[in-house]
Amino acid sequence: MYYMDEGPSGPYKQIIGQEFAYKALAEGSDFFFKSTANELHIQQQLAEQSGKKLKSEIAEIKEERRKDGENFENKMRVL
């Protein structure tokens, strides 16, 4: 509206204003899309790292429990 009221006059004033607005909207949308995609990618990488860490911790706990079970069996044999 500001452009229509204060901009230079001419036969294609409205069309020029609309094209500018559409281009600005498209650029803003593209920036938002790229920012959102980047954030999603970062969150996905963090989730994968967390999953790998948890799987590793589970494997360590299972190994500890297996060793504890073997130690218990060995102690019971001695008794």
Q: What is the mean pLDDT of residues 18-37?
A: 96
- Provide the whole-model pTM: 0.60
One-letter identity of residue 31: F
The domain spans of the chain are: 2-78
Q: Is 61 left (phi over 0), alpha (psi -120 to 50) or beta?
A: alpha
How many Å is the Cα radius of gyration of the chain? 32
Question: What percent of the chain is predicted at pLDDT more than 70?
Answer: 99
The tokens for 71 are 């130690």
Burial of 16 (0-12, 13-18, 19+ CB in 10 A): middle
For the chain, what's the residue count? 79
Instruction: Say what the pLDDT of residue 79 is.
Output: 67
